[in-house]
A and B are shown apart, each in its own frame.
Chain A
Amino acid sequence: MPTTVRYAEFKAAALVALTIALIGAFIVYVMSARGVFEETQRLVLIADNSEGVKTGMDLTFSGFPIGRVRRAELAADGNVRIVVDVSQQDAHWLRSSSVFTMERSLVGDIKIRAFSTNLADPPLPDGAERVVLRGDLGEQIPQLMASMRAVLENLERLSAEDSPLNGALRDVQSVTQRMQGPYGAIAGVLGSDENARKLISTLDHANTLLDKTDVRVFGKGGVMDESKAAIRQLHGLLRDARENLKKVDALLLDAQAIAASTRTATADLDALRSEVDASLRKSGRLIDALDRKWPFARDTEIKLP
């Protein structure tokens, strides 16, 4: 027979007790991890498709799990009711204005998320029903691929050997190469060193001309000095003209007085004029009579051919 172990019964009992305690602790831990001892409030999310929704999956807020899906059931109207247990401790993150989304990523389960933009709104009541918005990345892939293809084709066209962009870049390169020459950016803009040289010589001529002009215009006895003297003379002339105008003004006053005297004399002239008219008419008649007498008579008769 094998040798006897000391305190065998105690040791065996201790091993059994430790094993049972570990198993019991594990069961309690798992129950606690599954929220069995948690006080919760209920939230019902209405979706059009329950695909990917599993019991026990998380409802997250800002990346932190605040609730878990208890079950998903089909409602009488054909929609899906996803019943979520939200722990009382975290329920204050959900407000009446909160938005819920259900997103499917490329890898892994779908994710149910809550967004609360205004935490000052009233809290979400127990048993509230909210419509969940679906965002499926997989559904957008064909659209994304079509857009990507168009972008890539454009890029290919842009980067082709004979593309306008390539030509423009070649032109830019030739311009910048010209700019590296002795005449710098001027040669780049004007097209060649020859043109740049001409421009620079023109500028030199212009500078010389300007120097001469400076001497002629602003130098001693130049145009500017003469202009000053002329202006001074003009100023004297203007002063004289003003004096003359004053004299004309006096003459006009005198003329006004003469005009007034003339107006009174004009009344006597009317009678005189009528007499002169009468004399003239008499003289006319006398001349007519003389004309009719011979040898002053003219042949006034019109003879027809």
Chain B
Amino acid sequence: MNLTHHTAPSRPSPYGLISGWGKLIHAGALLFAAALSPSTYSPAIRRAVANRICRTAAQTIPLFILLAALFSLVLVHIVVVTAQSYGLSQFALGMVVRVLVVELLPLSAALYVALRTDTGAASEDNALPGALGLPVDTLAARLEAARLLILPRVLADTLTVVALIAFGGTLAMLLAYVGVYGVTPWGVAAFTRTVGQVFDPVVTLSLALKTLFFAVAVATIPALASAASARGGGGRDAVLRQRPPRLFMVLIAIEMLALTAEFY
């Protein structure tokens, strides 16, 4: 299983574009197949994965929670005050939950992790060519090297995106409750009812799939691009420049699909 040479720099021709996307998807599928195989987790890889998860979580979660809380507070206040001024306060909570928890926070979490890992990747990318550039001739050795470097990053980013969406969503719902009802237990029944109305099966499924695909895209595309650039030698800078647009295109496509599923 060669995970690195599939992601060649994209060429301008349509065929090359489609081929590049195909290779990316293929490599991503192979990567997740490896991640889901118990045999992958040798003690060394397990330690590497755990290390990477801890570092990524420490880098992203505290600041994101803080920013999400501030953003949620501002948005909840704006929506509640605006709804009250139009006499539509009964719709404020549903709107906040729908806009914040279902739409904005997942996209924000994905973009945040993508940007953090993208800027943080620069230093790590310097280590990647070194690791992959070792005089290893056998396929097993190259595979082991790829697993050791790419798999932890992919798993850590996936988990971080899911965790950020879960933590951010929970916090946003708590802040929405406090923003609408205040610090009182008497709004729990109405709040629960509204949450039940917002999260119908279609919206819940859409949120779950969106979270999963965001996590996979954010984890896979930059990691594979880094690996490709490590192998690509001279084309590295060009690939690095292309990485965010490709990821953003995927994220926007996922968001559009989710919106289409929810509202049509």
Contact = CB atoms under 8 A, between A and B. Distances in A.
Contacts of A55: 200
Contacts of B195: 29-30, 33
A56 B200 contact: yes
A22 B166 contact: yes
Given A9-B47, A33-B193, A33-B196, A107 B88 contact: yes
Contact of A34 (B124, B167, B199): B199
A4 B197 CA distance: 46
Contact of B53 (A15, A18, A32, A56): A15
A2 interface: yes
Contacts of B53: 8, 11-12, 15-16
Interface string B174-209: 000000000000000000110111011000100000
Contact of A2 (B51, B57, B166): B51
B223 to A, nearest CB: 15
Nearest to B101: A26
Nearest to B201: A34
Interface residue tally of chain B, by bracket? 20 to 34
B169 A5 contact: no
Interface string B29-62: 0000000000000000011011101110100000
A243 B166 CA distance: 131
A16 B54 CA distance: 11
Given A8-B54, A9-B50, A15 B166 contact: no
Contacts of B127: 1
A23 interface: yes
A27 B204 CA distance: 9
A26 B171 CA distance: 12
B84 interface: no
B100 interface: no
Given A11-B54, A15-B57, A22-B170, A30 B159 contact: no
A139 B50 CA distance: 64
B65 interface: no
A90 to B, nearest CB: 11
A35 interface: yes
A63 B99 CA distance: 26
Given A12-B50, A12-B53, A19 B88 contact: no
B169 A26 contact: yes
A16 B197 contact: no
B90 interface: yes
Interface string B89-129: 01100000000000000000000000000000000100100
A26 B166 contact: yes
Given A5-B51, A8-B47, A19 B166 contact: yes
B159 A19 contact: yes
B162 interface: yes
A108 interface: yes
Interface in A1-52: 1-2, 4-5, 8-9, 11-13, 15-16, 18-19, 22-23, 26-27, 29-30, 32-35
B200 to A, nearest CB: 6
Contacts of A29: 192, 195
Contacts of B200: 34, 55-56
Nearest to A5: B54
A56 B124 CA distance: 50
Contact of B197 (A9, A15, A56, A107): A56
Given A2-B55, A8-B51, A16-B159, A22 B167 contact: yes
B123 to A, nearest CB: 9
A258 B193 CA distance: 125
A85 interface: no
Contacts of B46: 9
11 contacts: A2-B124, A5-B54, A15-B53, A15-B54, A26-B166, A29-B192, A30-B196, A33-B195, A33-B196, A33-B199, A56-B196
Given A4-B47, A29-B192, A57-B197, 5 more contacts: A2-B55, A5-B51, A15-B159, A16-B159, A22-B167
Return the 3 tightest CB-CB contacts between A and B, nearest first.
A33-B196, A8-B50, A12-B50
